[in-house]
Homo-oligomer: A and B are copies of this chain.
Amino acid sequence: MNTSTSFATTITTSTDGTNDPALRSWVASAAREAGDFPIQNLPYGRFRRRGSGEPWRIGVAIGDDVLDLRAALPAVSWPAPVAAAMAPLADGDLNAFMALGRPVWRATRAALSAALAVGSTAQASLAPCLVSQAEAEMTLPCRVGDYTDFYIGIHHATAVGKLFRPDNPLLPNYKWVPIGYHGRASSLGVGGDIRRPAGQLKAAGDEPPVFGPCKRLDYELELGALIGTANEQGRPVTIQAAEDALFGLTVLNDWSARDIQTWEYQPLGPFLSKSFATSISPWVVTMEALAPFRRPFVRPDGDPAPLPYLDSPFNRAAGALDVTLEVWLETAAMRAAGAPAVRLSQSNALDAAYWTWAQLVAHHTSNGCNLQPGDLLGSGTLSGPGAGQAASMLELSVGGKQPLLLPGGEQRTFLADGDRVTMRAYCQAVGTARIGLGEVSGTVQAAAAG
């Protein structure tokens, strides 16, 4: 495992044609101008027909539809290796597919791309295997054994650090260590209703602390990476091999209870302030689909070079990704008035992230820690450097001191019950198809009684 170096040398060249922007699908909605899911994307998700008792199965998003792989597997004569790889997908087991490794992922992608392309002889057989996304109930795309949350958004770390240490916002380790911590896997979901947590709160000067509903509920906009292939415990993954361990990306909302966090987090870090819920978008966009958006990894002038275990020629040349990220807010009042959601921020991973995914995999395993198929890595909050690029309310409201003014006269420092937060991510660049990562939405519910 993790011994192939083919990915690193071929990832940007797209020799199989699946990234060709001229490619068109016979699924008409896949050609929609600003759609997330053209034929160049082909992300995986786990679904069933809403309200059905069907078993969960893996599907591939295409335009406004999902190709149901449980139905598609027997409908077409797939190449034998692809049929074998699709068997766990038909059973709803993305983890087993993830464990098969990049050559199999690529062969499957190529077969799906060919089958969905204009002119495919499989069109008549596969058309009945499409389910409208509007009719699909989504769940987590895979079993997440362990979830790790990093802190690679340097503008976020700087802004949050400034709230505590105006003259010295970044801690001395920040530019050397990809800071991260273990998160809670059991409370991961794909959004929906998010109950406001309760916890111990202690405002400055208050004594003793009180137990009650969180008053400073926040979101954090992140990207999530899902691990494909495992490494054995005690066997670090080199940065050269790290690219091959990465299966794909998703959008992540790291819901955060700021007041619980302030009181609990010394000395061992965030715990109950985070573990009540974490949401990810239901579609995993593969690293293959993201290949056209690879960019050089560049450090600002004067910043230290990464230590050798976090450095490689490929990482320097193409370790970073150009992904646009947005947060939208719809309050209960907006919803009642039929008013549209308002965009709170727009940022880009390219200038928000201080480390690359390959660096995170290499760092995470550098002590021998074993990653497993389906493990989730969060990036940390990806705020940009400018106005309108702050990817949490803590930053937008400067620690709760400057309320945001919303259309219709509402104000927010943190989230109110009924607020619906939607995060979106997408890649677009000249000469390539637009690749969307879908969206993740959650609506804040009142705290439990008592």
Using CB atoms and an 8 Å cutoff, list the residues of chain A in contact with chain B: 145-146, 148, 151, 171, 173, 176-177, 179-187, 189, 195, 197-200, 202, 208-211, 233-236, 257, 260, 263-273, 275-277, 304, 307-309, 363-364, 366-372, 375, 448
Please determine whether A233 and B187 come into contact, CB atoms closer than 8 angstroms.
yes
CB distance from A2 to the nearest CB of B (A): 14
By a CB distance below 8 angstroms, the chain B residues around A211 are 307-309, 366
| B145 and A186 contact, CB distance less than 8 A | yes
| Bound CA span A400–B415, Å | 47
CB contact between A185 and one of B145, B179, B270 (< 8 Å): that residue: B145
Which residues of B are found within 8 Å of A184, using beta-carbon distances?
A: 146, 182, 369
Determine whether the beta carbon of A199 is less than 8 Å from that of B369. no
Nearest residue (CB) in B for A274 is B182
What's the Cα separation between A375 and B186 when bound, in Å?
10
CA distance A186 to B367 in the complex (A): 13
Least CB distance from A92 to B in Å reads 18
Our pick among B179, B182, B364, B368 for the contact of A448 (Cβ within 8 Å) is B368
Can you name the residue of chain B whose Cβ is closest to the Cβ of A273? Answer: B367
CB–CB B234/A151 < 8 A: no
Give chain B nearest CB distance to A345 CB in angstroms: 22
When distances are taken between beta carbons in the complex, the residues of chain B under 8 Å from A308 are 211
* Interface pair A268/B181, CB less than 8 Å apart: yes
CA A448 – CA B366 in complex, angstroms?
Answer: 10
Chain B residues, CB < 8 A from A363: 272
Q: Contact: B195 with A177, CB < 8 Å?
A: no
Assess the A177–B200 pair: CB atoms within 8 A. Answer: yes
On whether the beta carbons of A270 and B272 are closer than 8 Å, the reply is no
Closest B residue to A233 by CB, please name it. Answer: B187
Please give the distance in Å from A352's CB to the nearest CB on chain B.
Answer: 18
Whether A180 contacts B234 in the complex (CB less than 8 A), given A199-B367, A266-B173, A371-B186, comes out as no
Of residues A146, A151, A210, A265, which shows the largest number of chain B Cβ atoms within 10 Å of its Cβ? A146
Question: Do B448 and A236 touch across chains, with their CB atoms under 8 A apart?
Answer: yes
CA distance A403 to B260 in the complex (A): 40
Q: Is the CB of B368 within 8 A of A277?
A: yes
Residue of B nearest to A197 (CB): B367
Contact of B209 with A179 in the complex, beta carbons under 8 Å = no
Q: What residues of chain B lie closer than 8 Å to A186, measured between beta carbons?
A: 145-146, 233, 369-372, 375
Partner of A366, one of B171, B199, B209, B265: B199
Tell me whether A271 and B182 are in contact (CB under 8 A). yes
Whether A268 contacts B151 in the complex (CB less than 8 A), given A181-B182, A366-B211, comes out as: yes
User: What are 28 contact pairs spanning A and B, CB under 8 A?
Assistant: A145-B185, A146-B184, A146-B185, A148-B271, A171-B267, A173-B209, A176-B200, A177-B263, A179-B264, A179-B268, A181-B268, A181-B269, A186-B370, A187-B368, A195-B234, A195-B368, A200-B307, A208-B307, A211-B309, A211-B366, A233-B277, A236-B448, A267-B269, A272-B364, A272-B369, A275-B369, A276-B367, A276-B369
Residues of B within 8 A of A209 (CB): 173, 176-177, 307
CA distance A234 to B146 in the complex (A): 20
Q: Is the CB of B369 within 8 A of A187?
A: yes
Residue of B nearest to A189 (CB): B233
Residues of B within 8 A of A277 (CB): 233, 368
B-side contacts of A272, CB under 8 Å: 363-364, 366-367, 369
Bound: A139/B195 CA distance, A: 37
Residues of B contacting A233 in the complex (Cβ-Cβ under 8 angstroms): 186-187, 189, 195, 276-277
